[in-house]
Amino acid sequence: MKPQDCGPQYKSKLRECANFAAWTIKKVCKDIGPRPSGSEAELKAEEFMAKQIGKAGDEITTESFQIANRGFFAWTKIDGVLLFAAALFMLFNMPVVSLAFALIATICLMGEFLFYKEFLDRFFKKQTSHNTYVTRKPKGEVKRRIIFAGHADSSFEWRYTHLVGPGMMYFVFIYAAIGLGWNIVFSIVSLVQGNIIVPSVDIAWYSWVGLAFFPAFVLLFFFIDYNTCVDGANDNLSGCMVGAAVLKFMDDNDMRFENTEVVAFFSGSEEAGLRGTKDYAKRHGQECKDIETVFVALDTFKDYDDMFIYNRDMSGLTKHDEKACKLLKKAAQNAGIEMKYSVIFAGASDAAAMTQAGIPSVSLAAMNPGPPRYYHTRRDTVDIIDLKTIEKGVEIALEAAYLFDEKGLCDNY
């Protein structure tokens, strides 16, 4: 069985599903609005999207978990303060303290942003977040499961991307990173020279140069605007609704697999460090291993010419399952696109959490990796959603579901 078996109106039915997705996105943005991780709005959005799937889903499940929605990006403020202090202590000829502060800043950065660990979360106020997933059961026994996942929460605004553009974002990060490296290197140089506590009256030249990085650390401190949460129409209501549209298409055309379960998964708190999918992996990891399961993260369907299969995730440190990547590649070919592989160089998708849990996963997204001006800013509204990109996302996801039902995960399709 193939999606095209629904008849000659296949393309128009795809467009109907894309329109359904776009309508739902508009309703969520208008009636619910921005959805910080762990907020009531996040849960309302999940419930509303699940309700729109209607009878296409046989079962709706909601699970709660605790998160700290300011913990993940707290490193920007903490590092801003620590690195400012580190440079100041270098000026006071106190390299031991300076090095200690710089190393703590490095650990905060790596623990939260590079490895997505709950490193700083314990120090922040907790919220209750939720995952909601809708299951379309097969006719018979469940032997396979494909999960299409999008995250329902939206991001706090990245101040400089909004005000200036992505170039300013890179400038702040690179500027601060150089300052961090400078503090570490020359703290060590000062220690090697014997300056342990307060060794001399003369201040070394590199301590004065360190003053040049003070602006970087101030900019880093103000990187996140916690007073503004964005609409996230594209990132990532579009991904949520691509997955939901798969179930709707199958129901509209009276299609149900014999032994493959299809799940539309709306994760919570992805923007807070993939916390929702991490919770799902803890709860259901063994279940996903007992039944052949593939997890497809769908994230941001806006820029048609930048649609990629991401085979490496979490800043390139996590490699996704090769068979899952091949499944999407063949599905894209069936949908008329020769899809390329790419790497998420900075950040991560929900697929990374599942891959780390040992569950075959892959990520599909259509977003300018630049990133675009709308990424994590108030510009991510319903006014810029792209129906063509959403429709193609639905088609690829459908092809993947039918291909997986037919062959499962294999080396060649």
The confidence band for 203, taking pLDDT boundaries of 50, 70 and 90, is low
**Contact criterion met (CB below 8 Å) for 300 and 376:** no
Query: What average pLDDT does the segment 105-118 reach?
Result: 95
Three-class secondary structure of residue 100 per DSSP: helix
**Contact criterion met (CB below 8 Å) for 363 and 339:** no
Q: Give the single-character DSSP code of 119.
A: S
Give the burial class of 137: count Cβ atoms within 10 A of its Cβ; 0-12 exposed, 13-18 middle, 19 or more buried.
Answer: middle
- Residue carrying structure tokens 């709707």: 248
**Contact criterion met (CB below 8 Å) for 345 and 311:** no
* Total residues belonging to the chain: 413
User: Does the pLDDT value for residue 174 go beyond 50?
Assistant: yes
CA distances from 202 to 190, 209, 227 (A): 12, 14, 44
Question: pLDDT of 14-47, one tens digit each?
Answer: 999 999 999 999 999 999 999 999 999 999 999 9
Three-class secondary structure of residue 267 per DSSP: strand
In terms of Cα–Cα distance, which of 98, 10, 21 is closest to 301? 21
The confidence band for 128, taking pLDDT boundaries of 50, 70 and 90, is very high
Query: What average pLDDT does the segment 116-135 reach?
Result: 96
- What value, to the nearest 5°, has the Cα angle with vertex 241 and ends 239 and 244? 120
Question: pLDDT of 226-248, one tens digit each?
Answer: 999 999 999 999 999 999 999 99
Structure confidence at residue 193 (pLDDT): 77
Q: What share of the chain is helix, strand, coil (3-state, %, to 5)?
A: 50, 15, 30
Give the burial class of 62: count Cβ atoms within 10 A of its Cβ; 0-12 exposed, 13-18 middle, 19 or more buried.
Answer: middle
Query: What average pLDDT does the segment 139-164 reach?
Result: 98
The confidence band for 183, taking pLDDT boundaries of 50, 70 and 90, is very high
Task: Give the C-alpha separation, 145 to 324, whole Å.
Answer: 13
**Contact criterion met (CB below 8 Å) for 258 and 138:** yes
Question: pLDDT of 366-385, one tens digit each?
Answer: 999 999 999 999 999 999 99
Structure confidence at residue 198 (pLDDT): 47
CA distances from 237 to 105, 119, 305, 373, 400 (A): 33, 28, 19, 17, 20
Structure confidence at residue 290 (pLDDT): 97
| Structure-model confidence comparison of residues 177 and 210, the more confident one | 177
**Contact criterion met (CB below 8 Å) for 249 and 394:** yes
Structure confidence at residue 195 (pLDDT): 61
Query: What average pLDDT does the segment 111-123 reach?
Result: 93
Structure confidence at residue 202 (pLDDT): 56
Residues 20-51 as b/e (b if ≥16 CB within 10 A, e otherwise) read bbbebbbbbbeebbbbbbbbebbbbbbbbbbe
Using a pLDDT cut of 70, give the percent of the chain over it: 97
Question: pLDDT of 270-300, one tens digit each?
Answer: 999 999 999 999 999 999 999 999 999 999 9
Using a pLDDT cut of 90, give the percent of the chain over it: 90
| Residue 66 CB contacts under 8 Å (≥ 6 apart), including other chains | 126, 127, 128, 129
User: Does the pLDDT value for residue 201 go beyond 50?
Assistant: no
Task: Give the C-alpha separation, 100 to 184, whole Å.
Answer: 9
